[in-house]
A and B are shown apart, each in its own frame.
Chain A
Amino acid sequence: MRRFEYHEPTSLKEASQLLTSLGEGAYFLAGGTDLFVEIRERLRQVRHLVNIKRVPGLDQIEWSDQTGLRFGAQVTAGQLEASGYLNGRYPNLRAALKALASIQVRNRATVVGNVCRASPSADTIPPLIADGAVIETYRPGGGRHIPLAEFFAGPGRTVLEPGEIVIAVTVPPPAQGSHRAYLKHGRRKAMELATVGVAVSLEVEDGLCTGARVALGAVGPVVLRAPQTEAILVGSRLDAAVLNAAAEQAMQECTPISNVRASAEYRREMVGVLTRRAVMLALEEAA
C-alpha cells in the first residue's frame, strides 16, 4: 500500500474546503470498501483521504408518504437493507442491496459511495434510476438536486463539481400499482460484479401498463435508461409478445463492450433475457 495523508473534517464546509484545497489525489472516504482495494492494488493514486464519517447529519434514513425515502451519505447498504422501508415499496433496490458483495462488505459500504463510484456495473444504480432517485448535494455556493439519471458523466465520473459533496439520496414514493424488480447476472451467485444488471419500475392499472422505467447496468459507459423499451411497455397489457418486443428493443438500446467477464454479444443477449424476466418478476412480486 502507498502512503497517504489522512484528514477528518467535522463539517460539510470543512470537508468541501479540504477537498478543494488539497486538489488532485484527494478523495472522500465513507465506507472505503472499494477505495482501499484500489489503493492496495495501485489502481488509484491517493494522496489525501478525507474521511467524512465525522460529519454530523449524514446518517439518517427517513420515510414519508409524501416525499418517499431519503438516506444520507453515511448510510450503509446493510443499514438500508435492514431498515424495513424498502419492503413492499422498493423491492428492486432491496434485491440490488442483497446482491451487493457480501454481508461484511454491505455493513461497511455506503449506498451513496456505491452511487458516487459511478461504476456502470454498480448494483444500486439501476433500481435507483428506475425509481427516479434524486441526488442532494452540498456546495459552498448552495446545494443542488440532481436527478440520478443525469448524474453520471462516464465510467467513474459524475457531474459533481470540485468540493461538491453528495449528502443524501431521495427516492419518490411508489405510485399506485407499482411493480418493481432488479435482476443481476454474474458468473457466480455472490461476491460478484454484474455482467449485466436490469432494473424495472412499472405502474400497472387493470392489467394495463401506465408507466415504465427500465435501467440497464454494465452495458454502457454509464447505467442507461432504455426509453424506447419503456415506450413499448407503456400502454400495453404486458403479454408475451410485448415482453419479447421490449426485450428485443432493450438489446438495441444498450452499448456493451467485451472484456474478461463477457463478450459484448453475450451481454447484449442477456439484456434481452433479463429485461423480459425482470418485467415478469416485477409483475409476480406485487401479486
Chain B
Amino acid sequence: MTKHEFRIVGKSVKRQDVIEKITGEGRYTGDYHLPGLLSGKIKRAEIAHARIRRIDVSRALAYPGVKAVLTHHDVPRVLHYGSPHPRSASCTMDQYILDDRVRFWGEGIAAVAAVSEEIADEALDLIEVEYEPLPAVLDIDAAQAPDAPLIHDVGPGGNLVIPPVHIERGDVEKGFAEADLILEGEFSGGRPVPTYMEPNVCIADWDGSNKLTFWTSTQTSFMVRGALAEVLGLPLNKVRVLVDHMGGGFGAKQDLFQHEFLCALLAKKCRRPVKMEFTRRETFLAGRSRHPFRLWLRQGFRKDGTLTAREMKIVYESGAYGSHSPGVTNVGTASATSLYRCENVRLDGRAVYTNTPIAGAYRGYGVVQTYFAIDIQMDEAAEKLGIDPAGIRLRNAVREGDIAPSGHPVVGYGLEACIRHGIRAFDWAGKRAADRHDPANPAIRKGWGIGCEMHGSSAYPGIKEQGNAIVRMNEDGSVTLLTGAAGLGTGAHTALAQIVAEELGVPFETVSVVHGDTDVVPWDIGAFASHTTYLVGSAAKMAAAELRQRVLARAAEKLQEKPGHLEMVEGVILVQGQPDRSITVAEAMGPSRGIPAEHLVASGSYMPTKSYSFAAHFVEVAVDTETGIIECRKVMPVHDVGRVIHPVAAQGQIEGGIQQGIGHTLTEDYVIDRTTGRSLNAGLVDYKMPLSMDMPDIETVILEAAPDPGGPWGAKGVGEDPIIAIGPAIANAVYDAIGVRFHHYPITPEDVLNGLRRKAAESSARD
C-alpha cells in the first residue's frame, strides 16, 4: 500500500443523517402515509403445534370497516425460504405464507385489512379457529429424541434443519494422545432477541400496471424484492422495494417475514395501500432471536498451554422454521476451527426444529455461542496449568497464514496485538493481583476477566457476495453515490461518502448518498456480515477512482494539460508543480465555450473473499455475594479493524455491541414456557436489556494492526465483533471474583447464589 495522507478517512466527520434524526424529520417506514391507506393486522396462534381444523372469518369480514381477511385458503401455497439469500447460500425452503398447520405459539394464521388499526385489531377477535392439537417439541432434547414428533415434512428428517455439518482437520486422536491436560465441558445459552428500536413495518401499494411498490424496514431490500417477486409470480422490475431510515436490525431484519407477503396480498386484494406495523410484543413473537444452544467441548493442552486437539459438538435450536439456521450452523461450527490455533479439530454442528419462535440472524451469527464455550474453557485450562489467562491466549492466538474458518489463510493477525495492548493498558497483571474485596461493601467480590474473538467481514464462502456502487459527478461538482446498502443506523452511508470523497479528492460535504430504492440503486446483497464498509466501501472506492480519472481527463481538456499532470485535492484540480494553474471541479464539469456541461458516471463492482477482525475484551465485575447481582463495572475493548474510517461511529458500534453482550450474558432471555410453548416475557416489561445506568465505564481502543488488502485502505468490519468477546470475559471475571464457573448465559443472580452455595457445600465436604 502506498503512503497516503488522509484528509477525510479516519476523521469523525459529521454524520450525514444527524440533523434529520435529531430534529425528528428523518423518515422511517412507519412515517409514510398514502391516500386511502389501510391498516393490516395478523391473527396469531395461541397454541404451539396444531393443525387448523376450521377457520371462520365470516364475522370478521362482516365487521364494519374491515376490507379483507386472508387465511391459508386465500393465499398462494408456495414453499419458500425464510432467509431469502441467493442460491449460493445454503437455505431451507420450509415456509408457506399461511399454512393449515401451526408450528409455534404466535405464528400468523390470518390477516385482516381495515380502515383503522383499531378496527383491524378488533376484527382479529372475531376470527374463529378450531385446532387439532399436535404434540409439541419444546426444547433441543425433545427435538432429538428418537420418537420425537416431526415438525416439518421437508429437510433431512429427525427435526434436523440441514444435514449435520462435519469439519475435521488433522488427527484428533493423536492430538489428545499428546495432551498433558484434557478438559471436557457442556455449555448452553438462552434466547436473546435484538430488540431494535423500530419494530418491523411495511407498506404495500400496487399501481395500475400491476407493479408493487413496497416500503419496508429491511437490511436486504434486494432479497425482499427477489422473494416477493418469486412468491407472487412477478418479474423483478415489477417489484420496487424502498427503505428509508431504519431503527436498527442487528441481523434479524434479513429475513423475509410472513407479514411482508401478507401486506402485499392484502393490498392487492383491497386495491388500496396497506400498512402493517408490529407491536413490540410482535417483535418478540414473530421476530428473530439468537439460537439457543447446547454445546459439548473437549480440548487437549500441553503443559505450556499449547492446544493439541479440539472436539466440539453443537446443537442450535432453530425454532419452528429454518430461517438462518443453515448459515448460523455453518459459520458457528467453522468458527471453532480457529481463534485459538489447533491443528487437530473435529467439529459437529446441527440445527434442530422446535415448536418455539424462530431463531434467525442476530449479530454474532452462531459464533457468540461457540466462542463463549471455547474462551471459558481456555480460562479453565490456564488455571489448571498455572498459566496466566492472557498468557495462554497469547500462546494459542491465531497467526498469519493459519487456516481461517472460511478455509483461507488468515491475512494479517490482529489478535496478538489486541491482547498485548490490553494487558498493558488495562493493567491486567496489577488488577489480577489486587484484593477481590471492596472496602465500601463487604458483600462485594471483584474480579477481572478476558475474552477474545475473531469475526469475518463478509459472508464468504457461505455466500458469494458482490458489492456495487455508482458514483456520479454532477455538472456543479457535487457528487452522488448510489448504493444498495441499507443504513441500519450505524452510519454506514457516512462512511461510504467519506471513502468516495477521499478517493475522489473532493470535500466530504459535497458527496450525498442515494440508497434504498431497488429501481434506482445498484444491486446489493444486503447490510449484514459486518461487510458494508469492507465490501461496498471497496466498490465505492473503485468507482470513485475511475470517476476521478474521467474528471481529470475532462479537466485536462479544459486546462490543455495531460491528465497525468493533474491532481484533485479538496475539489480543486491542480497542475502538478504549477500552483498558479488550477480550476475547481465545478469549473471542470460546467459548460465553457464549445464544451457543454456534463455529468460523469462510474461504477464499481467488487467480489470479496474474506477478512477477519479481531478483539480482546478486558472486564472488571463486582459480584454481590448476598444478592447474586453481577455488575459489569469496567470494559476495555481492544479491537483491530485494519483501518478505521469514522472513529466515533466505530466506537459507537463497539459500545453498542458491549451493551447487547452484557445483556445476553446477564439479563436478557426471551423465555418460552417449556410445557405449553407460550412466551412468558414477550415485551420490554420483563425482557431486560441493560440501560444507561447499567452500563460500565468503557474505554475503547481501536487498533489498525492488521489492515486487509481486500478492504478500502485496509478497513475491515466491526459490526458483529464487539458482541462476541464480552460474554466469556464477564463469565471469566465472575469466576475470578467468586470462584464459581458458569457454562451458560444468562447468568442470573439466582444462579450466582446457587453456585456459591454449591461451592460452600463442596468445600465443607472436603474439609
Q: Which residues of A come within 8 Å of B, CB atoms?
A: 1-3, 40-41, 185, 187-193, 260-263, 266, 269-270, 273
Q: Is the pair A188, B671 in contact by a Cβ cutoff of 8 Å? A: no
B691: Cβ under 8 A from any A Cβ: yes
Given contacts A1-B121, A188-B667, A263-B750, contact A273 B686 (CB under 8 A): no
Q: Which chain B positions have C-beta within 8 A of A185?
A: 627
| Other-chain contact of A266, B667, B685, B688, B753 (Cβ < 8 Å) | B753
Which residues of chain B are near A41, meaning CB under 8 Å? 279, 281, 683
**How far, in Å, is A115 (CB) from chain B's closest CB?**
20
* B749 engages A40 (CB within 8 Å): no
The answer to whether B681 has its CB under 8 Å from any CB of chain A is yes
Q: Is the CB of B688 within 8 A of A188?
A: yes
Q: Which residues of chain B are within 8 angstroms of A260 by Cβ–Cβ distance?
A: 671, 680-681, 686
A104 to B: closest C-beta gap in Å: 13
Besides A2-B118, A188-B690, A261-B686, 15 other A-B contacts (C-beta < 8 A): A1-B118, A185-B627, A188-B688, A188-B691, A188-B694, A189-B691, A189-B693, A190-B691, A190-B693, A190-B694, A193-B685, A260-B680, A262-B749, A266-B628, A266-B753
> Which chain B residues lie closer than 8 Å to A3 at the CB level?
118, 122
> How far apart are the CA atoms of A260 and B667 in the complex, in Å?
12
CB of B626 closer than 8 Å to a CB of A: yes
**In the assembled complex, which residues on chain B have CB atoms less than 8 Å from the CB atom of A188?**
667, 688, 690-691, 693-694
Cα-based distance from A187 to B749 in the complex (angstroms): 8
Name the residue on A nearest B679 (C-beta): A260
How far does the Cβ of A182 sit from chain B's closest Cβ, in whole Å?
A: 16
Q: Which residue of B lies closest to A269 (CB)?
A: B753
Q: Which 10 interchain pairs have the tightest Cβ spacing?
A: A189-B693, A266-B750, A260-B680, A190-B693, A187-B688, A273-B626, A260-B681, A3-B118, A188-B694, A187-B667
B380 at the interface (CB under 8 A from A): no
What separation, in Å, do the CA atoms of A260 and B749 have in the docked complex? 13
A190: chain B residues at CB < 8 Å are 691-694
Q: Which of A2, A189, A192, A262 contacts B121 (CB 8 A)?
A: A2
Q: Does B117 contact A (CB under 8 A)?
A: yes
Question: Hey, which chain A residues are within 8 Å of B118, CB to CB?
Answer: 1-3
Query: Which of chain A's residues have a CB closer than 8 A to the CB of B627?
Result: 185, 270, 273
Closest A residue by C-beta to B750: A266
Residues of B contacting A189 with CB < 8 Å?
Answer: 691, 693-694
Query: Residues of A contacting B680 with CB < 8 Å?
Result: 260
Interface residue ranges of B709-749 to A (CB < 8 Å): 749
Closest to A266 in B: B750
Residues of chain A within 8 A (CB-CB) of B279 are 40-41
B683 closest partner in A (C-beta):
A41
Instruction: Tell me the minimal C-beta distance from B270 to chain A in angstroms.
Output: 21
- Are B117's CB and A1's CB within 8 A? yes
Give the complex CA separation of A263 and B749 in angstroms.
11
Give complex CA distance A188, B686 in Å: 11
Q: How far is the CB of B674 from chain A (nearest CB, A)?
A: 12
Q: Roughly how many angstroms separate A2 CA and B125 CA in the complex, as a whole number?
A: 11
Q: Which residues of A contact B692 (CB under 8 A)?
A: 190
Could you say which residues of chain B place their CB within 8 Å of the CB of A193?
A: 685
Find the B residue at minimum CB distance from A4: B118
Complex A-B: 16 CB contacts under 8 Å = A1-B118, A2-B121, A41-B281, A185-B627, A188-B694, A189-B691, A190-B693, A190-B694, A191-B691, A193-B685, A261-B686, A262-B749, A262-B750, A266-B750, A266-B753, A270-B627
A194 to chain B, nearest CB (A): 12
- Specify the main secondary structure of chain A where it touches its partner: loop
Provide the residues of chain A in CB contact with B691, threshold 8 Å.
188-191
Which B671-699 residues have C-beta < 8 A from chain A?
671, 680-681, 683, 685-686, 688, 690-694
Shortest A168–chain B CB gap in Å is 29
Q: Do A2 and B122 touch across chains, with their CB atoms under 8 A apart?
A: yes
Q: B681 contacts which chain A residues (CB < 8 A)?
A: 260
Closest to B751 in A: A266
Chain B's nearest CB lies how many Å from the CB of A46? 12
A1 to B753: give the CA distance in the assembly, Å. Answer: 42
Bound Cα distance A40, B117 (Å): 11
> A-facing mask of B591-628, CB < 8 A → 1, else 0?
00000000000000000000000000000000000111
Please give the distance in Å from A1's CB to the nearest CB on chain B. 6
State how many angstroms separate the Cβ of B351 from the closest Cβ of chain A: 26
Asked if A266 and B749 sit within 8 Å, CB to CB, the answer is: yes
Q: How far is the CA of A193 from the CA of B686 in the complex (A)?
A: 9
Q: How far apart are the CA atoms of A185 and B690 in the complex, in Å?
A: 15
Q: Give Cα A261 to B686, complex, Å.
A: 7
| Residues on B with beta carbons closer than 8 Å to the beta carbon of A273 | 626-627
Closest beta carbon of chain A to B43's beta carbon, Å: 13
Q: Which B residues, 643 to 663, have Cβ-Cβ distances below 8 Å to chain A?
A: none
Could you tell me the distance between the alpha carbons of A129 and B281 in the complex, rounded to whole angstroms? Answer: 34
Bound CA span A273–B627, Å: 7
Residues of A within 8 A of B694 (CB): 188-190
Chain B CB within 10 Å, residue with most, of A185, A262, A263, A273 = A273
Min distance, Cβ A268 to any Cβ of chain B, angstroms: 12
The complex places the Cα of A262 from the Cα of B691 at a distance, in Å, of 20
In the assembled complex, the Cα of A193 lies from the Cα of B122 at a distance in Å of 30
A80–B182 Cα gap in the complex (Å)? 62
Residues on the A chain within 8 Å of B281, using CB:
41
Shortest CB distance A274–B (Å): 8
- B residues near A40, Cβ cutoff 8 Å: 279
Within 8 A of A (CB), among B529-567: none
How distant is the Cα of A31 from the Cα of B686 in the complex, in angstroms? 22
Interface residues of B in 205-246 (CB under 8 A from A): none
Known contacts A260-B681, A263-B750, A266-B749; A192 and B117 CB within 8 A of each other: no
**Closest residue of B by beta carbon distance from A262:** B750
Residues of A within 8 A of B753 (CB): 266, 269
Q: Which residue of A lies closest to B121 (CB)?
A: A2
* B248-307 at interface with A (beta carbon < 8 Å): 279, 281
User: In the assembled complex, which residues on chain B have CB atoms less than 8 Å from the CB atom of A266?
Assistant: 628, 749-750, 753
Q: How far is the CB of A212 from chain B (nearest CB, A)?
A: 22
Give Cα A189–Cα B624 distance, bound, in whole angstroms: 14
CB B227 to nearest CB in A, in angstroms, measures 31
- B686 / chain A contacts, CB cutoff of 8 Å: 260-261
Chain B residues contacting A191 (CB-CB under 8 Å) are 691
User: Bound complex: CA of A260 vs CA of B670, how far in Å?
Assistant: 10
- Bound together, the chains give a CA A266 to CA B691 distance in angstroms of 24
B residues 117-171 near A (Cβ < 8 Å) are 117-118, 121-122
CA distance A273 to B750 in the complex (A): 13
Assembled-state Cα–Cα distance A2/B690 (Å): 31
Chain A residues with CB under 8 Å of B121's CB are: 1-2
What residues on A are CB-neighbors of B693 within 8 Å? 188-190
Q: How far is the CB of A166 from chain B (nearest CB, A)?
A: 25
Contacts of A187 in B (CB 8 A): 667, 688, 749
Among residues of B, the one whose C-beta sits closest to the C-beta of A189 is B693
CB-nearest residue of chain A relative to B688? Answer: A187
What distance in Å separates the Cβ of A54 from its nearest Cβ neighbour in chain B? 25
Cα(A273)–Cα(B692), bound, Å: 26
Which chain A residues lie closer than 8 Å to B667 at the CB level?
187-188
Measured CB to CB, the nearest residue on chain A to B749 is A266
Residue on A with the closest CB to B667?
Answer: A187
- Give the residues in chain B near A2, CB-CB below 8 Å: 118, 121-122
Cα of A3 to Cα of B115 in the assembled complex, Å: 13
- Cβ-closest chain B residue relative to A37: B685
Select from chain A the residue with minimum beta-carbon distance to B631. Answer: A189
Q: Which residues of B lie under 8 Å from residue A263 when comparing CB positions?
A: 750
Q: Tell me the smallest distance from the CB of A189 to a CB of chain B, in Å.
A: 4
Q: From A270, which residue of chain B is reached at the shortest CB distance?
A: B627
Give the docked Cα–Cα distance between A185 and B624 (Å).
12
Instruction: Give complex CA distance A41, B281 in Å.
Output: 8
Residue in B627, B667, B671, B690 with the greatest tally of chain A CB atoms within 10 Å? B627
For chain B residues 286-335, which have a beta carbon within 8 Å of chain A? none
A263-B748 Cα distance, complex, nearest whole Å: 11
CA distance A1 to B686 in the complex (A): 21
Chain B residue numbers with a CB within 8 Å of A269 are 753
Distance to closest chain B CB from A122 (angstroms): 14
